[in-house]
A and B are shown apart, each in its own frame.
Chain A
Amino acid sequence: MPESLQPIVQATGLSKVVSLVDGAPGARELAILQDIALEVMPGEAVAIVGASGSGKSTLLGLLAGLDTPSTGSVRLDGVDISGLDEDGRAALRARLLGFVFQSFQLLPALNALENVMLPLELSGAKGAADRAAQMLSRVGLAERLRHYPKTLSGGEQQRVALARAFVTQPKLLLADEPTGNLDAATGAGVIDLMFAMNAEARTTLLLVTHDEAIAGRCTRLVRLAAGRIVP
C-alpha cells in the first residue's frame, strides 16, 4: 500500500474497562470505551467530540500510546503499538507525535525557549536553540524567548506549547481540549494559529474538544457517547 493510502492512526476493537474497586474480587467494572474502530488518513483533521465523561481523553491517551487498552489494538503509522513496551512507544511518539494539552504542561523551571528546545534535546537533534527560536517567532513570541511560564499569559503559554508540538515536525498532532483553559477570544486566536500551522506543516490533526465550533473546522467529526462512537 502506498504510504499516502496507509492510515496514520488505525484503531480496531478498542476497549478500556476499569474496575471500580481496586483489586477487589468480583468488583464492579466500568467500560469507559467499548469497541472503538477508527482510521485517520494522512492530512486529515479529525475532531473527537462528546460530552464530559464520554471517553474522549481516554481515547486520545490510548491512541497516543500513553495508556494501554483492555482489548483491541492501535497502529500508528503502520506500527502496532500493543507489540511495543513503554520505551518503544515513547520512541515512536518521539518520531511521530506532537502534543497540545488543555493545561499547557510547560515545565515551570524552563523558559519559553528551553521548553520548545526540550523535545529536540531529548532526541539529540542538532541546532535545537535556533529551531526553537524560529518556531517561537512563528507563534509570535520572538520577544518572549527568555520568559518563564509563570510570567506568560494563558494564551501565550498555549502558543509556546504549540511551538513545542510543531518543532519536531511531527506527522500527527494530538490536541486535548487546547482551549479548555482559555477565554473565548484567546482560545479562538490559539485555534486559528494551530490550524494555520497544521496546514503549513501538512500535519495530520486529531483534536479532542467539546466545542462544536472548533470541531466544525475539522475535515471529519467523530462523536463519542458513553464510550461508543455514535453516528
Chain B
Amino acid sequence: MTGARLAFSMLLRDWRAGELRVLALALVLAVGGVSSVAFFADRVRQSLTREAHQVLGADVLLTADHAWSAKWREEIAKRGLAGAESMSFVSMTRAGGEALLSAVKAVTPGYPLRGKLRAAPALNAADAETTEVPPPGTVWLDERLTAALKVGTGDTIELGGARFRVAAVLTLEPDRGVSFMNFAPRLMMNIRDLPATGLVQPGSRISYQLLAAGGREEIRQFEQWAAAQLSRGERMESLENARPEVRAGLDRAQSFLGLTAMLAVVLSSVAIALGTRRYTSRHLDGYAVMRCLGAGQPQLFALFAWEFCLLALAASLAGCALGFAVQNLVAWWLAALVPGSLPQPGPAPLLQGAATGFAVLLGFALPPLLQLKGVPALRVIRRDVGPPRQSALALYAFGFAAVFALLWWQAGDVKLGSYVFGGFAAAFVLFAAIGYGALRLIGRFGRTGSASWRYGLANLLRRPRANTVQIVALAVGLAAILLLTLIRADLLDSWRRRLPPDAPDRFLVNIQPDQRQPLAEFFAGNRVKQPETFPMVRARLVAINDRPVGAADYTDERAKRQIEREFNLTYLKDLPEGNKVTDGAWFTPQELTMGAMSVEFGIAERLGIRRGDRLEFVAAGQATFSAPVTSIRRLDWDSMRPNFFFIATPKLLQDFPASYVTSFRAPAGDAALTLRLSQAFPNITVIDVSFILRQLQIVMDQLIGAVQLVFLFALAAGVLVLYAALLATQDERTHEAAVMRALGASRAQVLGALRAEFAVLGLIAGLLGSVGATAIGWALATRVFQLEFIWNGWIWIAGPALGLACIVANAWAGARAALSRPPMAALRESA
C-alpha cells in the first residue's frame, strides 16, 4: 500500500500548497449542495407525506358502511399502531326554535391521529390547536352551525333523543374533505354519547371510520394485510383518492425540489470539470519530472488515481457533514415559519451525496489523468511537447455519462433525466456555437481603437477554444443565478397566484335560472365580488360510439362508481379559466352550431374515451343527447373554481332543465353571511370549503418556503461555477500580463488590454446567460409546472451586468497578481 500512502502524502502536499483548494471546494460544495438538497428533500418529503396524512387524519384510513369487526381493532393493537375511530352521519340538530341538518361526527379520544383540531371558545374568537375531543355530554359545533342555531358556548342543543352542552366552536378539522357529503355544517361529539341519542339503528346511513398510525414499515405491512382483508362495503382511503387538490400541490413541490437538485448536480459538474482541467494542466510538468525520475506509467496513474479517490472521499465526507449541518439550519429556520417539527432525515442522502462526489470527480478527472499518461518525459527538456490533443467530447464522455447517470437517479425516471440532460447538452452546444461565432466576428471587425483595446480583442481570437469554454461556463453559471433569482421569484409568484388570498371558499349549487339576478343583487349588497355562474345539467353516460357502457365494462373501482352516477355537465361558448386543451381544439363556430363535447383528461383516461368518440347521455326525464368529443382538456383541480369533466356546446344542452353553480369568497369575519344566504335562498345548497382552503394555503406556504431554501444551494453551486470559470484562465492571463510588462507595457496598458478582452467575454456570456435563464424558465413554467410564464425584462439588464461584474472583478484580481510582483517572478513561475 505504498502507493496509497504516497498518494496520501501527495494529497496533503497539494492541499497545503493550495493546488487542490478550488477542486476540493467545488467538490465539497457539490456534495454539500446535493446532499443538503437530498437531506432536506427527504425531510420535506416525509413532512409532506405527514402533512398529507393529516388530510386523512391518519396514516391509514379505513371506511365502511357497517361497523368494523373486532379483528380489525385487535390487529391494530397487536401491531403496536395507534388507533382511533369515528362514525359519521347526517342528522337534525335542534336548539330553541331553530333546527338544521348537520353532519355529525362521533369520535374516540385520540382522534385525529395525524394533524390537530382547532377550536375557539366563542364565535369569531381566536382559535387554538387542541389534542382533546369533546368530553362526554358536550358537543363542538362549527361556525356555520353555531351561527345558524343562534347558540353560544354553554348553551344546550338536542340531537336525537339526547341533550348536549355546546363546549366550543370547531374551527379546523384536518381531515375534512370537499365532498358533497360534507356540505352540511359539522357537529362533533364523543363516541360514548352516541347510544344515548338513539340515532344508531339498523339501516341507518352511517359511515364507520377506523384510523391507524405508526412507523413507516409497520404501516406498510398493515396496509398490505388490510388490503387483503377488505370485504364488501369496506375500503382503504389512499392519498391518491383522498384529496386531488392537495396532491397537485405536493406533486408540484416535489418537481421543484427534484429539478433544483438536478440543477445542483449539473452546476457542480461544470465546476468540477473546470477544476480538474486546471489541476491536470498545472500538473503536466510534475508528471514529466516524475517520469524522468524513473516512475513507471502504471505507478503514476495509480498515484494520481489514489490521490483523487482520497480527495473524493474526504470531500464527500466534508460535503455530507456540511449538507447535514446546513439542512438542519434550514429546518430550524423553517420551524419558526411553520408549526410542527420536520422529521429526521434517513441515511439515503448520505449515500447520494457520496456517490455524487465520486461519480462527478472520477468521471471528469479520470480522462484527463489517463491523458497524462501520454505526457512524454522529454517535456522536461523540451517544453513544446505535451500530451496528444484529444477532442473535448472524448475527454469528457466519462463525465457526461456520470452526470447523466446522476440525473437519471435524481429524477428517478429515465425520460425526465434524459430531458434535463438533453436540455443542458443542447444549451452547452448552442452557447459554444454562439460564443465562438461572436468571438470570430468581433475579432475580425473590432480592430479599431487604442492599442490596448486592439491587443485585447486580438487575444480573443488567439485562444478561441479556451475563451469559448470560459464563455460557456460563465453563461451556464449566470443562467443558473438568474434562473434562481429573477425567474424563481416569477415562478413562485405564478404558483402562489393559483391560490390567491381571495380564492373562492364557498360553492353554491342548485341555483335556479330565475334566482341568478336576485343572487347577484344579494352579492352586491353583501360586498361580495360578482362570481361567474355555470349552468349545470345532470346526465348519465350511457354509450360510447353507440356501444352501451356500464359498471361491468370497467375493472377500476372509481370508473365503476362514476359510470353508475350522474355527471354534472355544463355548456359554454368559451374555454373556462384554468382549463387547457391538450388534444384537439376548442369548439369552432361550426361545432358550436352542430354540437360537440370537451372531456377532462383524467376521466377520459379512466373511462376509455378518445377524441373523435361519440358520447351518448341520458338526462333527467329520459331525454337523450349525443355529440362527438372534439377536445381533451387538463384543468387545475386546485383552482377552487367549479370544474367539469364534460363541457358541451350551448346548443346541445341549453334546452335541458339546468341549475347553476358558482363559487365565491365570503368576506372575512362574516360568519353569518352563509346563514343569511340560506335564509334568502332556501333551496340553494351552500358548500363551505373555507376549512380546506385555509389548510391548503398553509400547505402551499410551507412548500414555497421549502422550495426557496433548497434553491439557495443550487445558487451557491452557480456562483462556484462562475468562480471556477474565472480561475480557469487565470494562470495564462497572469503570465501574459507579465510578458507585456516585461516588454515595457505600462500598468494602464496591461489593464486596458485585459478590460477589452474581458468586457467582450462578459457581455457575450451575460447575454447567453439571460437567454438560457429565460428559455429554461419558460420551459419549466409551461412544460413542467403548467404555470403561466411571466416575461421578466430585468433579466436582459441583469445578465450582461452580472457577466461584466464577474469578469471585471476577475480581471482586477488577475491583473493585480501579475502587476504587484516583478514580471520576472511571474514569468519564472509559469516557465
A binds B: yes
- Chain A positions within 8 Å of B, measured between CB atoms, are 57, 60-61, 64, 66-67, 86-87, 90-95, 97, 99, 101, 103, 105, 107-111, 114, 118-119, 121-124, 148, 150, 154, 164, 176
The segment out of B227-235, B376-384, B751-759 that lies at the interface is B376-384
Q: Which residues of A contact B9 (CB under 8 A)?
A: 121
CA distance A124 to B295 in the complex (A): 11
The answer to whether B380 and A122 touch across the interface, beta carbons within 8 angstroms, is: no
Check A109/B297 contact, CB under 8 A, given A93-B292, A122-B290, A124-B2.
Answer: no
B831 within 8 A of A: yes
Task: Report whether A118 and B290 are in contact in the complex, using a CB–CB cutoff of 8 Å.
Answer: yes
> Given contacts A93-B292, A110-B13, is CB(A86)–CB(B381) below 8 Å?
no
Q: Are A91 and B2 in contact (CB under 8 A)?
A: no
Number of contact residues on B: which range applies? 20 to 34
B292 near A87 with CB under 8 A, answer no
Q: Quick check: B14 and A105 within 8 Å, CB to CB? A: no
Interfacial chain A residues near B19, Cβ < 8 Å: 109
Q: In the complex the two chains form, is B381's CB within 8 Å of A66's CB?
A: yes
Q: How far is the CB of A41 from chain B (nearest CB, A)?
A: 23
Q: Is the CB of B6 within 8 A of A109?
A: no
Most buried by B among A64, A67, A109, A150: A109
Q: Which residue of A lies closest to B825 (CB)?
A: A150
Query: In the complex, given contacts A99-B292, A101-B381, what are 5 additional A-B residue pairs having Cβ atoms less than 8 angstroms apart?
Result: A90-B377, A97-B294, A109-B13, A109-B286, A154-B828
- Sample 26 A-B pairs with CB under 8 A, ordered by A number: A57-B382, A61-B378, A61-B382, A66-B292, A67-B376, A87-B297, A90-B291, A90-B294, A90-B297, A90-B377, A93-B292, A94-B293, A94-B294, A99-B380, A105-B285, A108-B282, A108-B286, A108-B829, A109-B14, A110-B13, A122-B6, A122-B290, A122-B295, A123-B294, A124-B2, A150-B825
Across-interface contacts of B831 in A (CB, < 8 A): 103
CA distance A67 to B379 in the complex (A): 10
User: Given A105-B285, A110-B13, does the pair A66, B380 have CB atoms closer than 8 Å?
Assistant: yes
1/0 per residue B1-24: CB within 8 Å of A? 010001001000110010100000
Q: Which residues, 268 to 299 on B, are CB-close (under 8 Å) to A? A: 282, 285-286, 288-299
Could you say which residues of chain B place their CB within 8 Å of the CB of A87?
296-298
Contact check, B17 vs A110: say whether CB atoms are below 8 A apart: yes
Please indicate the chain B residues that have their CB under 8 angstroms from the CB of A109 in the complex: 13-14, 17, 19, 286
Min CB distance A54 to B, Å, is: 14
Given A61-B382, A67-B376, A150-B829, A122 and B293 contact (CB-CB distance below 8 Å): yes
A97 CB to nearest B CB, Å: 7
Q: Quick one: which of B175-207 are within 8 Å of A by CB?
A: none
Q: Give A219 Cβ to nearest chain B Cβ, in Å.
A: 24
The 8 Å CB contact of A57, one of B286, B289, B381, B825, is: B381
Question: Are the C-beta atoms of A119 and B293 separated by less than 8 Å?
Answer: yes
Contacts A57-B382, A60-B381, A61-B381; A122 near B299 (Cβ below 8 A): yes
Q: A108-B17, A109-B286, A150-B829 are in contact. Are A67 and B378 (CB under 8 A)?
A: yes
Other-chain residue from A66, A95, A148, A154 in contact with B376 (beta carbon distance below 8 A): A66
- Nearest chain-A residue to B296 (Cβ)? A87
Assess the A118–B381 pair: CB atoms within 8 A.
Answer: no
Q: Which residues of B contact A99 (CB under 8 A)?
A: 292-293, 380
Distance between Cα atoms of A101 and B825 in the complex (Å)? 19
Which 5 A-B residue pairs are closest in the complex by CB-CB distance? Answer: A94-B294, A109-B17, A87-B296, A93-B294, A119-B293
Output the nearest chain A residue to B288 by Cβ-Cβ distance: A105
Name the A residues within 8 Å of B297 (CB-CB): 86-87, 90
In the complex, A101 Cα to B828 Cα: how many Å? 14
Q: How many angstroms from the CA of A98 to the CA of B295 in the assembled complex?
A: 13
Q: How far is the CB of B497 from chain A (nearest CB, A)?
A: 55
CB neighbours of B381 from chain A (8 A): 57, 60-61, 66, 101, 176
**Which of B14, B17, B295 is within 8 Å of A90, CB to CB?**
B295
Residues from chain B with Cβ under 8 Å of A66 in the complex: 292, 376-378, 380-381
B289 touches A107 (CB 8 A): yes
Residue of A103, A108, A111, A123 contacting most chain B CB atoms (<10 Å): A108
Closest partner residue, chain A, to B18 (CB atom): A109
The answer on a CB contact under 8 Å between A119 and B294 is yes
Contacts of B2 in A (CB 8 A): 124
Q: Which residue of A lies closest to B383 (CB)?
A: A103
CA–CA, A111 and B377, complex, Å: 22
Q: In the complex, what residue of chain A is closest to B3 when comparing beta carbons?
A: A124
Q: Considering the complex, which residues of chain B in the window 367-422 have a beta carbon less than 8 Å from any beta carbon of chain A?
A: 376-378, 380-383
List, in ascending order, chain A residues with CB within 8 A of B290's CB: 118, 122
Chain B positions 766-803 with a Cβ under 8 Å from a chain A Cβ: none
Contact A91 B294, beta carbon cutoff 8 Å: yes
| A108 contact set on B, CB distance < 8 A | 17, 282, 286, 829
Q: Which A residues touch B294, using CB under 8 A?
A: 90-95, 97, 119, 122-123
Question: Across the two chains, which residue of chain A brings its CB closest to B6?
Answer: A121
- CB contacts under 8 Å to A, within B288-318, are 288-299
By a CB distance below 8 angstroms, the chain A residues around B380 are 66, 99, 101, 105
CA distance A119 to B299 in the complex (A): 13
Q: Which residues of B contact A94 (CB under 8 A)?
A: 293-295
A104 to B: closest C-beta gap in Å: 9
The answer on a CB contact under 8 Å between B382 and A90 is no
Partner of B13, one of A60, A92, A114, A119: A114
- Docked Cα-Cα span, A91 to B381, in Å, equals 19
Shortest distance in angstroms between A215's beta carbon and chain B's nearest beta carbon? 19
* Bound-state Cα–Cα, A110 to B19, Å: 10
- B410 CB → nearest A CB, Å: 35
A164 CA to B289 CA in the complex, in Å?
Answer: 11
Chain B residues contacting A176 (CB-CB under 8 Å) are 381
> Please, what's the 1-or-0 string for B129-143, where 1 marks a CB less than 8 Å from any CB in chain A?
000000000000000
Complex alpha-carbon distance, A110 and B10, angstroms: 9
B99 → A minimal CB distance (Å): 89
- When distances are taken between beta carbons in the complex, the residues of chain B under 8 Å from A64 are 292
Q: Chain A: which residue is nearest B285 at the CB level?
A: A105
Nearest chain B CB to A156 CB, angstrom units: 12
Contacts of A114 in B (CB 8 A): 13
Residues of B within 8 A of A101 (CB): 380-381
Chain A residues with CB under 8 A of B282: 108
Residues of B within 8 A of A90 (CB): 291, 294-297, 377
* Residues of chain A contacted by B293 (CB below 8 angstroms): 93-94, 99, 118-119, 122, 164
Give complex CA distance A164, B378 in Å.
18
Contacts of B6 in A (CB 8 A): 121-122
Whole-angstrom distance from the CB of B17 to the nearest CB of chain A?
Answer: 4
Chain B CB count within 10 A is highest, among A67, A111, A114, A122, for: A122
A99 to B378, CA, bound (A): 12
Roughly how many angstroms separate A170 CA and B381 CA in the complex, as a whole number? Answer: 19
Q: How far is the CA of A99 from the CA of B2 in the complex (A)?
A: 24
A57, A97, A119 pick with most chain B CB within 10 angstroms = A119
Can you name the residue of chain B whose Cβ is closest to the Cβ of A177? B381
Minimum distance in angstroms from A106 CB to a CB of chain B: 8
Bound together, the chains give a CA A195 to CA B828 distance in angstroms of: 26
User: Whole-angstrom distance between the alpha carbons of A231 and B290 in the complex?
Assistant: 36
Tell me the complex Cα distance, A57–B290, Å. Answer: 19
Closest to B5 in A: A121
Cβ contacts under 8 Å, B285 to chain A:
105, 107
Least CB distance, A170 to chain B, in whole angstroms:
10
CB contacts (< 8 Å) of B295 on chain A: these are 90, 94, 122
CA distance A92 to B295 in the complex (A): 10
Residues of B within 8 A of A107 (CB): 285-286, 289
Residues of chain B lying within 8 A (CB to CB) of residue A122: 6, 290, 293-295, 299
B383 CB contacts on chain A under 8 angstroms: 103
A residues near B288, Cβ cutoff 8 Å: 105
